[in-house]
Amino acid sequence: MNGRTGAGPELVIFDCDGVLIDSEPISLARLTENLRRIGVPIDLATVARRFTGTSMTSIMAHIATDYGVPTPEGFVDAVRADTLRAFDGELQAIAGAGAVLGTMRERRCVASSSDPLRLRHALSLTGLLEHFGGHVFSATQVARGKPFPDLFLYAAAQMDVAPERCVVIEDSVPGVTAACAAGMPVLGFCGGGHWGHDRTGTDLLAAGAVRVFDAFTDLPHLLATWDAASR
């Protein structure tokens, strides 16, 4: 592992949806409509509460168990294609993300539940891909997605950084749970559109986040004062 020492984190691992890009309102709406199309009696509020930050593999396993609706052939690919079409017309970066990433000195990567095609499409569309130097990791590269720690441990290993020298930026309980299980401290971000007016992040703190913030432009200060913030 890299032997760098210092006050701040050596690696910042960003979730993508709801942290870098304001995609969750779009994604959750498309998922809800497609689930209802195959006969799942579910509404947007339930989808948001249960599946934000969760991989499609885990989502469809829950749907089969809880609703008795097996995944139709081609359904996941159809949802992904539908979501990408919606992204083309609606997707935006989280306010301030591009400017902050452009001035960050810390090493950084992305670790997301989304599949690689969607990840790169979304980050390219919003102009953020260039800030990660190809270091974009997907849950499809590991055995288990969030809330398991596999993806974050994989990302840290690929970047050759010890887990305790990482800081994760997450917006969902499964993501915070996964980071904590990986031995990585977490900052909870609650500035995405899916948070609505309640941006207290109480559930993220309860899941183990060190603290929460709702303006991306606050991130440089939080990282610069990380030792104090993490105690």
Q: Supply the residues annotated as catalytic.
A: 15
Encoded tokens for 93: 């970066």
Provide the b/e sequence for 136-159 (b: ≥16 CB within 10 Å). Answer: bbbbbebeebbbbbbbbbbbbeeb
Encoded tokens for 109: 């990567």
3-state secondary structure of 96: coil
The one-character DSSP state at 141 is G
Determine whether 133 is exposed, middle or buried from the number of CB atoms within 10 Å of its CB (0-12, 13-18, 19+): exposed
CA distance 206 to 198: 15
Q: Is the torsion defined by CA of 222, 127, 49, 140 positive or negative? A: negative
- Could you tell me if residue 164 is left (phi over 0), alpha (psi between -120 and 50 degrees) or otherwise beta? alpha
Pairing of strands 186-189, 166-170: parallel
Which among 198, 13, 231, 3 is positioned nearest to 112, based on CA atoms?
13
3-state secondary structure of 16: coil
